[in-house]
Amino acid sequence: MTETRKEIIITGNERPKIGVYICHCGVNIAGVISVPDLLNYAITLPNVEIVNDYKFLCSETGQNIIKDDIEAGLINRVVVAACSPRMHEQTFRLVCKEIGLNQFLFEQANIREHSTWVHMKEPEGAYEVSKDLIRLSVAKSRELQPLQVKKVNIEPACLIIGGGIAGMNSALDLSTAGYKVYLVEKTPTIGGHMAQLDKTFPTMDCSACILTPRMVDISRSKNIELMTYSEVVDVSGYVGNFEVSIKKKPRYVNMEICTGCGLCVDPCPIVCENEFDLGLGTRKAIYIPFPQAVPGKYTIDMEKCIKCGICARKEVCEPGAINFEDKPEYVKAKVGTIIIATGWDLYNPTELDQYGYGRYPNVITGLEMERLLSSTGPLDGKPARPSDLKYPKSVAFLQCVGSRNFRQGGNKYCSRVCCMYATKQARQYKEKHPEAEVYIFYMDIRAFGKGYEEFYESTTRNYGVNYIRGRIGEVYENSNHDIIIRSEDTLLQEPIQLKVGLLVLSCGLEPRKDVNKIAALVRIQRSSDGFFMEAHPKLRPVDTLTEGIFIAGAAQGPKDIPDAVTQAKGAASSACALMAKGELELEPYFAVIR
């Protein structure tokens, strides 16, 4: 245990005695500029009493050099010229604190990231920049005043925005740890996109069999307050003490009274597209998204409802759960941490006119194919062509639609799931129709996950799926609504023309449409790809630059289910670690007008 010495009393009125310490950082600094020359310059600055250097000031030996000078009373201010304060500011503050000097009498000049790294090939320029940075830090050090850390209590509760597989896992981990969780989902049910899947790769497990028990656990947890069909509309405060406002949209069905019997559905005269089935199936104006939905209560889509009142009749809804006068409800909550797990949207391929999506009925997306293959889908797991509802004798998949596109406005990133979900769907289709011809047009097959390469190999070897390396240049439709594909095989270096009954576009993942709204609401940044940006891609992959706010799942970037769950558990662990402290030290900085 580190011993903290008796505090050295500094009132701020004493003459500043500044020590400047320059770190070599191996060759990162000393290999570019002359440290001895920098020392000779620093000693000429006003109020600088001591200058010194060491190979690695962050090491124990380097820290002791600073401690010894403070203890001897030679200095009452410390300036370290080294790496970024984000790396070692806390290290050197602790050095001051341990020896008894107020930690806020320390200043760090970043002469690595801001000088020697960026001007590595211009050592003379780097030297001049380093001089300026040290001069500025010394000038600031002269004005530093001793400050006291402010401590505040941390609210032992967490807000999780998004009720998909990532949000649910974070919520369950936090509730198991004993923390209150507010789980907010904008749709009428939790489950996210995983609920739309039939099976999961590479194990071909039933998606609902994995997901449904977790959804039930959420509904049963005493520590989780589930708010579906709700949105966060305001966030204020700071780490440990966020105040949030949540809008519960009107369902026009009393959640306390509704039994989920479903007797109101058949009498409803309004039939509309089912969003859960991506428009491939239909639903009524009063509906439940899918049979395993949580909560298992009905919602009236008031944009479609004609208020005929049939569902409210006593013989239809005996408990009297229908309430056409329902209004939005606003809920206030105080939380210590926030986890953003808002998921992804599918790329809209109508932007790529050459593939005919939206013009030809038998050109569909991978997610639409998922619903056709699903036993809970609009065709009960018997995939057929949308044009005539006949099963296609040949199916083609096109990879990287909306991903790895380096043209203006395209998504340059790999979406990481498309290769495997196309392989899974091709395998499922061959299991249902072994005689069918299935083709996958690809740029590169990226089978990076555990068991993915074996899954890909078994699909080609055991199921006879044809993989063709090449992009599709053009598609058009014949009189029978078959799709004619013009492409090339880049391995055989020859053009290809194929007639298939169904073309499936393996569309990539994109940030949600409301990502800007959420980013502004919680004050976090987005990376160049549009997803929420982590504090550090390797060291802090679930943290954001706003303390107390974490990200999980595909909100941070495209990922498969195992990676989304892993990151969700990491975010929950980080939130737990922060809230477990009970209280938080805040930086005591304040503005002064002169």
Instruction: Label residue 410 by pLDDT band (50, 70, 90).
Output: confident
What are the φ/ψ torsions at residue 487 (nearest 5 degrees)? -150, -165
CA-based nearest residue to 501, from 525, 475, 527: 475
Split at pLDDT 50, 70, 90, the class of 3 is low
CATH for 157-249+328-344+511-579, options being 3.50.50.60, 1.25.40.10, 2.40.30.30, 3.30.1330.10:
3.50.50.60
Task: Show the tokens assigned to 131.
Answer: 């001089």
DSSP one-letter code for 311? G
Mean pLDDT of 520-526: 97
Q: Which residues, listed in sequence order, are joined to residue 53 by a DSSP beta bridge?
A: 22
Stretch 55-71: mean pLDDT:
97
Alpha helices (runs of H) in 100-241, residue ranges in sequence order: 123-143, 165-176, 207-220
Higher pLDDT, 11 or 440: 440
β-strand partners of 242 = 237, 335
Residue 13: predicted pLDDT? 72
Contact 101, 10 (CB under 8 A): yes
Residues with Cβ within 8 Å of residue 454, at least 6 apart in sequence: 202
Q: Are 437 and 466 in contact (CB under 8 A)?
A: yes
Longest dimension (CA), the chain: 93
Tens of pLDDT, residue by residue over 450-464, are: 999 999 999 999 999
CA 87/CA 102 separation, integer angstroms: 20
Helix, coil or strand: residue 56 = coil
Same fold, 18-150 and 157-249+328-344+511-579: no
- Residue 354 is classified by DSSP as G
What is the CATH architecture assignment of 346-510?
3-Layer(bba) Sandwich (3.50)
Question: pLDDT tens for residues 274-323?
Answer: 999 999 999 999 999 999 999 999 999 999 999 999 999 999 999 999 99
Query: Could you tell me which residues come within 8 angstroms of residue 51 by beta carbon, excluding any fewer than 6 positions away?
Result: 19, 20, 21, 22, 39, 42, 43
Q: Report the pLDDT value the prediction gives residue 330, as an integer from 0 to 100.
A: 98
Structure tokens at 527: 């990376």
Q: Are strands 241-248 and 329-335 parallel, antiparallel or unpaired?
A: antiparallel
Smallest CA-to-CA distance from 502 within 524, 531, 469, 480 is with 480
Q: Where are the alpha helices (DSSP H) in 1-143?
A: 35-42, 60-71, 85-99, 123-143
Does residue 159 have a pLDDT over 50?
A: yes
* Res 225: pLDDT: 99
| Per-residue pLDDT at 324 exceeds 90 | yes
Distance CA 7, CA 456 (A): 65
- What is the pLDDT of the chain when averaged over all its residues? 96
Average pLDDT for 7-23? 84
Nearest in space to 160 (alpha carbons), one of 343, 288, 297, 290: 343
Residue 2 has pLDDT above 60, yes or no: no
Predicted local distance difference test score (pLDDT) of residue 6: 61
Whether pLDDT at 590 is above 80: no
The residue among 165, 156, 279 whose CA lies nearest residue 218 is 165
Q: Which CA distances in Å does 88 have to 18, 54, 83, 94, 371?
A: 19, 15, 7, 10, 51
Q: Helices (H) and strands (E) in the chain — how many of each?
A: 11, 30
Percentages (nearest 5) of helix, strand, coil residues in the chain: 30, 25, 45
- Give tens-digit pLDDT for 190-238: 999 999 999 999 999 999 999 999 999 999 999 999 999 999 999 999 9
The domain defined by 18-150 folds into Rossmann fold (3.40.50)
- Is residue 20 within 8 Å of 65, Cβ to Cβ? no
128 residue type, one letter = E
Pairing of strands 230-238, 241-248: antiparallel
What is the percent of the chain where pLDDT is above 70?
A: 98
Strands 150-153 and 299-300: unpaired
Q: Is the pLDDT of residue 1 over 50?
A: no
Taking residues 533-539, what's their average pLDDT?
94
User: How many residues belong to the chain?
Assistant: 594
Q: Can you point out the beta strands (E) in 402-482?
A: 437-442, 466-469, 472-477
Sequence spans of domains, the chain: 18-150, 157-249+328-344+511-579, 251-326, 346-510
Amino acid found at 286: I
Q: How confident is the model at residue 588 (pLDDT cuts 50, 70, 90)?
A: confident
**549 band by pLDDT with thresholds 50, 70 and 90:** very high
Cβ atoms of residues 82 and 112 within 8 Å: yes
Q: In the predicted model, is pLDDT for residue 385 greater than 80?
A: yes
Contact 336, 157 (CB under 8 A): yes
pLDDT of residue 586: 83
Residue ranges of E strands in 404-493: 437-442, 466-469, 472-477, 483-489
